[in-house]
Amino acid sequence: MSKEKDKLISKVSKIWGGRFKKNNSKLMRDFNASIEFDKRLCFHDLELSRVHSNMLANKKIITSKENIQIQKGLKLIEREIKNNKFSFTNHLEDIHMHIEYRLTELIGDVGKKLHTARSRNDQVVTTFKMYVKDELKEVDNLLKDLQGALIEQADLHIDSVMPGFTHLQIAQPIILAHHLLAYVEMFGRDRERITDALNRMNKSPLGAAALAGTSFPIDSKKTSKLLGFREPMENSMDAVSDRDFVFDSLSLASIVMVHLSRLSEEIILWSSPGFGFVELPESFSTGSSIMPQKKNPDSVELIRGKTGRISSAFFNVLTMMKGLPLAYSKDMQEDKEAFFDAYDNLFKCLQVAEGLMRALKFKPEAMKKMLTLDHITATDLADWLVKDFNIPFREAHSITGKIVNLAEKKNIKLEDLKLNELKTIDERINNKVFEVLSLDSSLKSKKSLGGTAPILVKKALAKAKSKWLGR
């Protein structure tokens, strides 16, 4: 070990190691260090330190002169980081110790006063919570952009008709815009979850110190507001041991990914020759190394695949926390890598999904062709028998099933059956049946709240623009 490194380790050990007679082994230092991933918290930690130092000065815990020195030092550190001139090393464990150590290098012993009335326990959780809050706000923006792309496509296809599916079998006719707006609602609930999560995590842990609070006359209410929180947390032990905000953020990330994965699966299906509902844009597709004709939906396959990765981050943190006693344990350091990886990938997935949705080309003619394949208005026939002839639905269902069997036996569509053939099944059937079996009639009849009737879909589209996009 060089003399310079040995000197550094010696200085670092004095920050927390007064009762230690020996330095940590290199293996322990590397194992213990988190700087490789938590350095991205640097600007939030600097902001926290600025606010904390100002509070110390306002409460006469440090002098105004000392605070001015600290603020200047923190400004210099910020500039060094932005200009890539700040040195990171495993010898300094984490970003919090890096900043404190560098501050002391720059301004001398006054820098050592910054940590008065706080612990790394409340410092770490507050900094991380500030970071998570900002990440959630960015996810909200990305979800809004994705909703905008879906609404844009819905606007283009307000008159396009497609088959709706249950069990991946053709079920009933719907409007494509109606289908797309279903995802707008899904992602809308995700945005509401973000609002809920932000409300719950809007309490500052700073002031809890190690776990018991502090004997210094601090102003936690003031610092919480200056750091963008509504108020301080009410229990010091809960403050330093709480990671519910990580649970909330990773839980909603997992749900967002499930919604993205469902959308991805549909695009994968729709782009296959068996469906042919969409044409994949080349900008979000790849080719084959051996088959020249291929255009593969790799973008959405990757989104589908990353769903498991992000969900596992949630379970990672849940499992890490499940057996921890109050208050702080080093295990909690494991929350950050899981969160960072999950949200880095979530951002990418949302950006790719939005770009793809804006570039995707739907093929209404292919959708229309599939509408003719599987007696798609059979339910309308059963409903008509109930409404016009007061037949119990189960009986009407049975009659319609027999008519479907007849059409399949003759290898024709329901609407191609002749009236006399229909009357062999039930004498009450009249000429009105052919109007009932039309796609147009089927769509117009679905007037219940949230239905696919064209007039309702147009209203739903206008509402979605107003509610989610502010238009």
The residues annotated with a catalytic role in the active site are: 167, 288
Token pair in block for residue 250:
């990773």
Cα–Cα distance measured from residue 77 to residue 86, given in angstroms and rounded to the nearest whole number: 7
- Long-range pairs for 159-162 at CB < 8 Å and ≥24 separation? 159/454, 160/362, 160/364, 160/367, 161/364, 161/367, 161/368, 161/371, 161/439, 161/443, 162/277, 162/364, 162/367, 162/368, 162/370, 162/371
Scanning 322-333, the segments in alpha helix (DSSP H) are none
Token pair in block for residue 93:
């464990």
Token pair in block for residue 281:
């844009």
Closest to 425 in 3D by CA, of 410, 438, 440, 442: 410
Cα–Cα distance measured from residue 88 to residue 127, given in angstroms and rounded to the nearest whole number: 18
Reduced 3-state DSSP string for 400-452:
HHHHHHHHHHHCCCHHHCCHHHHHHHCCCCCCCHHHHCCHHHHHHHCCCCCCC
